[in-house]
Amino acid sequence: MKSPGCESSHHERHAFQNFYGDVCEGLTVRSRRGVLKAGLAGVAGLSLPEILRCRAGAAESGEPGPKPKSVILLWMSGGPSQLETWDPKPTRPIENRGPFGVISSRLSGFPICEHLPKQAAILDRFSLIRSVSALGSSHNPNRVMQTGNLGSQTADARYPAIGSVVAKYRGTNPPAMPAYAAAVASPRKHLAFAGYLGRQYDPFIAEQATKLPVYDIDGNNTGNSTGANLFQLPSELTLERLSDRQSLIADLNRLRSGIDLQDSMPAIDAYRRQAVEMVAGGRAAQAFDLSREPAASRARYGDHLWFQQVLLARRLVEAGVTFVTVGMNHSGGASWDTHGDNIPPYGGISKGMGKLLPLFDHAVSTLVLDLEERGLLDQVLIICMGEFGRTPQIGTQGSTDGRDHWPPVMSVAMAGGGLNHGQVIGATEADGGTIRERPITPGDIAATIYRYFDVPLDATYLDNQGRPHYVVQNNGQPIRELF
């Protein structure tokens, strides 16, 4: 039963599209007007009044609220090689199998790369999917893998990120937190945005709200950190002033007269007041403040950028964020794009992936064990993937040690979420270059996430021309082995 006022209607372009909500005034919250913009527009994904209204309607009708659930997507930007991660071919010739050996894992008969020993020791908590087709994918994050939509490979497409769809149809766990957040260096290069859904479902960029180390293209700490002043109110703007109902109403009326010339904004009601209070409240600020994490816990994760981002992701889902993307990249570009040592800047397999794999291994294994110890692993689904796989033949493009892009097949790892794990799904042919059995599509991965969140698989939205699109494309189905 739907709550009153919650039916899907028109998903027109975001009402604040000409209000420039992503310019300095709105994102840094330097004025009352900025706070109001943030509250109304959701601060790039913060729970909107619509969500609050729906939940209030559900509570009034006696419907139980959704159980807390979250996803952490570890986005291995650049395209990690399946042969050097979760689908090694140790008996193949060197030009196919690559330079690394394998290590036994907790999944009997399924070794993985020798540079992933920590993950191998807890691989029974994971599902490895070795037969994912990424045909049509590219480095553009709004194309295919972060959207689950094969149609998003077209240059002008604005198909929404999976995280944005979850933000719209699932919402946030507690109202005071964003629904979709991301800790990603160079987000416009490595992060999918809301597209047709509107800017209110864009990801909340964590670097604007927390101090994270800034790394160079080689992964070296520059000694600088992000600003992290989003939740700091200016001296002239106090909570008392924000709580002044008459002042709020006056400001809202002025905003309405300035931006709502065609009366497109819904009626201003108490839920907008609550949205403003989210921005001014302390829950989100505390979750993004890594200095509140105990020293022993911070030391457990470590001081590398990826480690701190993963720790932040754990804090965010613990505080109630629904979907968090962590970029396994550096500010210079796509770290896993290992074309060869003679093709800078990321190197080949030995020098490129050889450096990244131990970092990733520590990050993902620490996250899984930390969530498990906190009793959160069953309500947090962890997904590790990139844009595509790499060529089965090593030494492409004139290199002796690199692999080119290879959309025909890639590997994905999942853990947690209360799903069925301790298994390997699908298989590739002997050289790891084509799918042998149980092909999985990007639509299947999207459908799996939506089913996990109880998002209707037949939900639709409208593009800018008013044409409807299903959130699950190309006959995508939830991966049955996981449920």
Q: Which domains does the chain have, with CATH numbers?
A: 68-231+282-482 (3.40.720.10)
Pairing assessment for the beta strands 204-205 and 180-183 based on DSSP bridges: parallel
User: What SS3 class is residue 132?
Assistant: strand
Virtual torsion, Cα 12, 17, 18, 21, nearest 10 deg: 150
The whole-number pLDDT of residue 25 equals 35
Tell me what the mean pLDDT of segment 467-472 comes to: 93
- pLDDT beyond 80 at 303: yes
The whole-number pLDDT of residue 464 equals 87
With tokens 């109304």, the residue in question is: 40
- pLDDT beyond 60 at 1: no
The whole-number pLDDT of residue 269 equals 44
Q: 330-334, 359-363, 460-464 — which is least confidently predicted?
A: 330-334
- pLDDT beyond 60 at 54: no
The whole-number pLDDT of residue 326 equals 97
Q: 46-60, 332-346, 457-471 — which is least confidently predicted?
A: 46-60
- Output the six-digit token pair for 429: 């042919």
Contact (Cβ atoms closer than 8 angstroms) between residue 246 and residue 240: no
d(CA 178, CA 172): 6
Instruction: Identify the residue with better confidence: 8 or 49.
Output: 49
d(CA 480, CA 469): 24
Instruction: Write out pLDDT tens, residues 382-414.
Output: 999 999 999 999 999 999 999 999 999 999 999
Element (H, E) at 390: strand 389-390
- Output the six-digit token pair for 293: 């994490």
Structure confidence at residue 214 as a pLDDT band (50, 70, 90): confident
Instruction: Write out pLDDT tens, residues 92-118.
Output: 999 999 999 999 999 999 999 999 999
- pLDDT beyond 60 at 362: yes
Q: Where are the beta strands (DSSP E) in 200-318?
A: 204-205, 213-215, 221-225
Contact (Cβ atoms closer than 8 angstroms) between residue 479 and residue 29: no
With tokens 């009601």, the residue in question is: 269
Share of the chain above pLDDT 90, in %: 57
The whole-number pLDDT of residue 333 equals 59
The whole-number pLDDT of residue 267 equals 34
Structure confidence at residue 272 as a pLDDT band (50, 70, 90): low
- What 478-482 contacts at long range (C-beta under 8 Å, 24+ apart), as own/partner pairs, is 478/444, 478/447, 478/448, 478/450, 478/451, 479/129, 479/425, 479/440, 479/444, 479/445, 479/447, 479/448, 481/127, 481/420, 481/423, 481/425, 482/127, 482/414, 482/419, 482/420, 482/421, 482/425, 482/448
Mean per-residue pLDDT of the chain: 81
Q: 15-24, 148-157, 242-251, 367-376 — which is least confidently predicted?
A: 15-24
